[in-house]
Amino acid sequence: MLAVRVWPAREYTRVTLELEQSLEHTHLLLSDPPRLVVDLEGIELDQTLRDLVAKVRADDPYIEQVRVGQFKPRVVRLVFDLKTAVAPQLFTLAPVGAYRHRVVLDLYPLEPVDPLRALLAQVQPPGATAREDPIDALIRERDSAPAWPGAPARLPELRPAPPMSAPVPGSGRRGPRPEATRMVTIALDAGHGGEDPGAIGRGGTREKDVAHAIAQLLRERIDATPNMRAYMTRDADYFVPLAVRVSKARRVQADLFVSIHADAFVNPDAHGASVYVLSEDRASSGAARWLADRENRADLIGGVNLKRANHEAAKLLLELSTTTQIRESSSLGHIVLDRLGSVGHLHKPAVEKAGFAVLRAPDIPSILVETAFISNPAEERRLADSGYQARIAEAVFQGIRQYLLRHPPPPHSAPA
């Protein structure tokens, strides 16, 4: 056994066993009390497997403890004592990147975590009681009035002053744009996570950590602004497939989607921030295509159970985004890129385009922000600095805010 890893999260807990060779495994789910028994065939118990016991954290949502033993010759048994009933998924992954053969155990709750309910729990004050079903309340609150006492009802910061839009009939003049008077939801996507560290700098800084730190700071800035709220596609260190990131944003009816990353390139001298939008046909440069290909390998690195993949989410990645989505994404991207230029160097002065899978929500303006090159030693040091992370988060926030001032989102249609 090469390594054992445990990734606990509210959405699911993942246990990964890494070996030099593939092996057979069987599992059995027991109740009263809930337990999961996993037999690994063709190996002997070693210290690495014994270390799995200590890797289970007390705050793991699903695992109480794990017991490890040599069940019979060449068969090791793992017994997971569970805190609640689960829907387990076991699958194997072939070698990819720095990983060898992996056996993956994903422990999902019987009732999957609903992004919309999670967002409601995030923004609803403790002790407040919704007057109707939580999901209906959230949708109603987005469209009109607050869903609980004391919630902000207007977006004073987002009311454009004199910008103009459609012509006033018979006058030859343009009238003011409609005011943004509803809650605006920004989906923040911290790149990579869990089994997928993303790019790693020479000093050991991991892209997934930098992306999550900046996304958290951006979340705090957004949530502190009246009538704006952030939803994070991952709020801890765990792996989220690319299609699931997109479907989560759509589930919470996000108005914008912002994916945070830290560039890496074969040339360590490459530097500067970039903003990308989805390309309708081909990438705007060879480097953009190379980067998109690398980012789209996240599912291979992080490990997706292909036999149980969400077919609806997978289909989403094949849908063509509309021309309108790409145009609005470009508008957002140009504004954010301009703000990033006030923090540090820009890799290129224009928004780039490439086929990033995570930008394929056909109905949400979506951008991918490469904050800097983690492969550049000087920029790696800056990316690891909390002060610099805060400046990046502020620049992205100001870009989002300026975009919303120019393009206030239209009211949502009333739920049926």
**What pLDDT score was predicted for residue 132?**
43
Whether 26 has a pLDDT exceeding 60, the answer reads: yes
> How far apart, in whole angstroms, are the C-alpha atoms of residue 153 and residue 155?
7
User: Higher confidence at residue 41 or residue 414?
Assistant: 41
At residue 315 the predicted structure's pLDDT band, cuts being 50, 70 and 90, is low
Rounded to an integer, what distance in angstroms lies between the CA atom of residue 397 and that of residue 378? 24
Query: Among 8-17, 116-125, 233-242, 305-314, where is mean pLDDT lowest?
Result: 305-314
Is 414 or 183 the better-scoring residue by pLDDT?
183
**Model confidence at 165: pLDDT above 70:** no
Q: Do domains 3-109 and 184-406 have the same CATH topology?
A: no
Tell me: pLDDT of 308 over 90: no
Q: Which of these, 42, 41, 38, 73, lies nearest to 52 by C-alpha position?
A: 38
Which tops the pLDDT comparison, 122 or 219?
A: 219
321 phi and psi angles, rounded to 5 deg? -70, 150
Query: Which pair of structure tokens corresponds to residue 52?
Result: 């799995």
174 pLDDT band (50/70/90 cuts)? very low
- Percentage of residues of the chain with pLDDT beyond 70: 80
What would the mean pLDDT of 313-342 be, rounded to a whole number?
Answer: 80
- Look at the alpha carbons of 393, 339, 262, 361 in this order and tell me if their dihedral is positive or negative: positive
The pLDDT, as a whole number, for residue 171 is 39
Which range, of 124-133, 317-326, 391-400, averages the lowest pLDDT? 124-133
Q: Burial of 405 by CB count in 10 Å (0-12 exposed, 13-18 middle, 19+ buried)? A: middle
Judge residue 81's burial from the number of C-beta atoms within 10 Å of its C-beta, 0-12 exposed, 13-18 middle, 19 or more buried. middle
Amino acid at the residue 116:
L
Q: Of 47-61, 164-178, 292-306, 375-389, which gets the smallest average pLDDT?
A: 164-178
Give the homologous superfamily in CATH for domain 184-406: Zn-dependent exopeptidases (3.40.630.40)
Whole-number CA gyration radius for the chain: 23
| Pairing state between β 256-263 and 184-190 | parallel
Cis? peptide before 163, omega within 30° of 0 = no
Q: Which of 181-185, 244-248, 275-279, 319-323 is the least confident region?
A: 319-323
134 has a pLDDT exceeding 50: no
Question: Which stretch of 214-223, 301-310, 324-333 has the lowest confidence by average pLDDT?
Answer: 301-310
Domain boundary assignment for the chain: 3-109, 184-406
Asked which of 5-14, 280-289, 391-400 is least confident by mean pLDDT, the reply is 280-289
What does the pLDDT read at residue 267?
81
Min mean pLDDT across 43-52, 281-290, 293-302 is at 281-290
C-alpha closest to that of 35 among 75, 77, 98, 76: 77
> Residue 260 and residue 216: Cα distance in Å, rounded?
11
Please write the tens of the pLDDT for every residue from 340-378: 999 989 998 899 998 888 898 888 999 999 999 999 999
Highest mean pLDDT among 94-98, 254-258, 322-326, 410-414: 254-258
Report, as an integer, the average pLDDT of 59-86. Answer: 96
d(CA 167, CA 176): 9
Instruction: Identify the pLDDT of residue 5.
Output: 97
Q: Which pTM does this prediction carry? A: 0.82
* More confident of the two residues 162 and 232: 232
How is domain 3-109 classified at the architecture level of CATH? Answer: Sandwich (2.60)
Q: What is the pLDDT of residue 190?
A: 97
Q: Share the mean pLDDT of the chain.
A: 83
pLDDT band, residue 304 (cuts 50/70/90): confident
- HSE, CB side, 13 Å, CA atoms: give it for residue 120: 24
pLDDT of 70 strictly over 90: yes
